[in-house]
C-alpha cells in the first residue's frame, strides 16, 4: 500500500474503531503567568476574534502573546494612575489628612485608568 504524504513526512496514524486518525500533537509552549488583563483579552479573543485566537493557539504563541498583553496593560495602568494622581493632587498628605476623600479619589482614578486600558489594549 502506498504511503500518504503525512506518513512520508514521519506522521503516524492511530486506529480508533473503524477509522485511522492522525496522531497530532502541538509542541510544548513555554508557560508564562497571565494575569487579569491577559485573561480578559483571552476571553475577548475567544468571543470576538476567533481567527486570531485559533492562529495563536495552533502556532503555540497564545500564552506568550497574552503574557505580553498583560505586561503592557500593567505598565500602562500603573503609569496612568500615577500621572492622574499627580495631576489631581492626590498625595500622601491628603491620605493622612482625610482618608475617605483619598480613597474616593483614588477609586475614581483607578476606574478611569481601567477604562482606558480596556479600550486601548484589551478590547481591540
SS3 string of the chain? CCCCHHHHCCCCEEEECCEEEECCCCCCCCCCCCCHHHHHHHHHHHHHCHHHHHHHHHCCCHHHHHHHHHHHHHHHHHHHHHHHHHHHCCCHHHHHHCHHHHHHHHHHHHHHHHHHHHHHHHCC
What number of other Cβ atoms are within 10 A of residue 72's Cβ?
A: 16
Confidence of residue 86 (pLDDT cuts 50, 70, 90): very high
Least-confidence region, from 5-19, 46-60, 89-103, 106-120? 5-19
Residues in contact with 48: Cβ distance below 8 Å, sequence separation at least 6, in sequence order: none
pLDDT of 27-84, one tens digit each?
676 788 899 999 999 999 999 999 999 999 988 899 999 999 999 999 999 999 999 9
Report the pLDDT value the prediction gives residue 51, as an integer from 0 to 100. Answer: 97
Q: 63: which 3 cell numbers?
A: 500564552
**pTM (2 decimals)?**
0.77
Amino acid at each position: 500500500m502506498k504511503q500518504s504524504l503525512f506518513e512520508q513526512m514521519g506522521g503516524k496514524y492511530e486506529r480508533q474503531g473503524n477509522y485511522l486518525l492522525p496522531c497530532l500533537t502541538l509542541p510544548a509552549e513555554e508557560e508564562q503567568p497571565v494575569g487579569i488583563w491577559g485573561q480578559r483579552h483571552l476571553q475577548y479573543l475567544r468571543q470576538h476574534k476567533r481567527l486570531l485566537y485559533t492562529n495563536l493557539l495552533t502556532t503555540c504563541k497564545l500564552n506568550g502573546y497574552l503574557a505580553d498583553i498583560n505586561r503592557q496593560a500593567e505598565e500602562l495602568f500603573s503609569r496612568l494612575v500615577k500621572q492622574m494622581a499627580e495631576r489631581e493632587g492626590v498625595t500622601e498628605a491628603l491620605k493622612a489628612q482625610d482618608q475617605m476623600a483619598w480613597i474616593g479619589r483614588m477609586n475614581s482614578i483607578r476606574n478611569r485608568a481601567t477604562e482606558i486600558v480596556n479600550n486601548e489594549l484589551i478590547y481591540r
